[in-house]
C-alpha cells in the first residue's frame, strides 16, 4: 500500500485552505491555532513544499496549495461517499445511479414514485450525466446508457426508443406543417451531440439535404428539448423517452410514420460491483417499466 500523509493533517490543511486562515480553521475544527499549524507542517514536510505564505498577520494558501486542496477535496468526497454506502456493514442502502440528463428528467424521475412505493426503504442517489460524462464510471452502482461497447459492464436492455419529428403547440400555431416539405420553412433545432439525425430524417422523408439557414444549434439535447418546448423550432426527439411530454400535449408528433436513429437503453453494472437485493430489484423494475408502455 502506498504511504499517505496522516488523514487528520490533510483534513486540517483542507479546512485551512477553505477557511483562508489558521485561526478560522482552528475554530471550525475545534482545535487550537497551534494544532492547525503543526498539522500544516506535517503536510508541508510530506509534500516537500511550503503551502502557505504570510500576508500581514495571516497565513494564506499558495496557488499550489489551492490546486492541491481541490484534488484532495474530491478525494475526501469520495471517501465520504464510500463511508456512507459501506457504513453499518453496507446496510445504509444507498444505491448510486448515473443517468443521461434527458433520460433522467423526462423518463426516470416521473416514474420513480412507483419504485419507492414498492421499496419504501430504498435510498437512491440519482446523478445526471451529459454527453461528455457518459464514459465516466465513477463510484456508481449502476449506469443507464444507450451504448454498451465497453466490456467492463454487465448489461441489461430495458427500453427501445426511436426518434421522430416533434414540435410544441406554440410553434404549430405559427407554422402550418402539412407535408415534410413544409418543415424546411420553419426553424429547425439541431443538437451537436446527435449529429446526422436531420440528414437521416430528410433522407427517410425523401427530401434533399436541409439548407443551413433556419437551423438553431445547441450543444446538448436537454437544451434542444427546452427550445422545442418553448416553440423556438421543430426538432427530432426520442419518442418513448419524451412520452410524458407528448401525452400532456406539450409536444406533438409530426409525420410519426417517419422514424430514425433507433436506440436501446441498458442498465449497466460495472465489473466488480456486487449486486445487492436492491440493485437486482431496480433492474427488474426498469425492465418492467420498459415493457409496460408509456402510460406512466
What is the pTM (predicted TM-score) of this model? Answer: 0.65
146 and 80 both lie in a single domain: no
78 and 107 both lie in a single domain: no
| Least confident span in 62-76, 120-134, 152-166, 232-246 | 120-134
Confirm whether 2 is domain-assigned. no
Asked if pLDDT for residue 296 goes beyond 50, the answer is no
268 and 154 both lie in a single domain: yes
Predicted confidence at residue 114, as pLDDT, reads 95
Rounded to 10°, the helix 33-47/22-29 angle is: 110
Q: How far is the C-alpha of 26 from the C-alpha of 264, rounded, in Å?
A: 53
Confirm whether 1 is domain-assigned. no
Average pLDDT, the chain: 87
Place of cell 440519482: 126
Q: Which domain holds residue 72?
A: 7-86
Average pLDDT over residues 74-90: 69
- Region of 151 on the Ramachandran plot (φ > 0 left; ψ -120 to 50 alpha; else beta): alpha
Asked if pLDDT for residue 115 goes beyond 90, the answer is yes
Q: How far is the C-alpha of 202 from the C-alpha of 181, rounded, in Å?
A: 9
Average pLDDT over residues 104-117: 94
176 and 217 both lie in a single domain: yes
Asked if pLDDT for residue 135 goes beyond 60, the answer is no
pLDDT digits (tens, 9 = 90+) for 212-234: 678 899 999 999 999 999 999 99
Average pLDDT over residues 41-54: 91
151 and 184 both lie in a single domain: no
111 and 200 both lie in a single domain: no
Indicate which CATH number applies to the domain containing 247.
3.40.190.10
Amino acid at each position: 500500500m502506498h504511504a499517505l500523509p496522516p488523514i487528520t493533517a490533510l483534513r486540517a490543511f483542507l479546512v485551512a485552505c477553505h477557511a483562508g486562515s489558521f485561526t478560522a480553521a482552528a475554530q471550525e475544527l475545534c482545535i487550537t491555532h497551534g494544532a492547525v499549524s503543526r498539522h500544516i507542517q506535517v503536510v508541508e514536510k510530506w509534500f516537500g513544499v511550503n503551502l502557505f505564505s504570510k500576508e500581514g498577520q495571516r497565513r494564506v494558501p499558495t496557488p499550489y496549495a489551492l490546486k492541491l486542496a481541490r484534488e484532495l477535496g474530491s478525494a475526501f468526497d469520495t471517501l465520504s461517499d464510500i463511508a456512507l454506502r459501506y457504513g453499518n456493514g453496507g446496510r445504509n442502502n444507498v444505491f448510486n445511479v448515473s443517468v443521461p440528463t434527458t433520460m433522467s428528467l423526462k423518463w426516470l424521475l416521473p416514474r420513480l414514485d412507483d419504485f419507492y412505493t414498492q421499496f419504501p426503504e430504498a435510498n437512491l442517489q440519482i446523478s445526471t450525466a451529459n454527453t461528455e460524462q457518459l464514459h465516466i464510471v465513477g463510484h456508481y452502482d449502476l449506469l443507464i446508457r444507450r451504448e454498451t461497447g465497453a466490456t467492463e459492464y454487465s448489461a441489461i436492455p430495458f427500453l427501445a426508443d426511436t426518434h421522430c419529428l416533434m414540435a410544441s403547440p406554440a410553434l404549430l400555431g405559427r407554422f402550418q406543417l402539412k407535408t415534410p416539405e413544409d418543415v424546411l420553412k420553419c426553424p429547425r433545432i439541431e443538437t451537436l451531440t446527435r449529429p446526422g439525425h436531420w440528414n437521416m430524417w430528410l433522407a427517410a422523408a425523401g427530401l434533399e439535404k436541409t439548407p443551413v439557414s433556419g437551423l438553431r444549434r445547441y450543444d446538448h439535447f436537454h437544451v434542444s428539448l427546452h427550445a422545442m418546448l418553448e416553440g423556438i423550432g421543430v426538432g427530432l426527439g426520442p419518442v418513448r423517452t419524451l412520452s410524458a411530454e407528448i401525452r400532456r400535449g406539450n409536444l406533438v408528433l409530426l409525420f410519426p410514420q417517419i422514424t430514425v436513429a433507433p436506440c436501446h437503453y441498458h442498465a449497466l453494472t460495472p465489473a466488480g460491483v456486487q449486486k445487492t437485493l436492491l440493485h437486482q430489484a431496480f433492474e427488474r423494475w426498469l425492465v418492467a417499466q420498459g415493457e409496460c408502455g408509456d402510460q406512466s
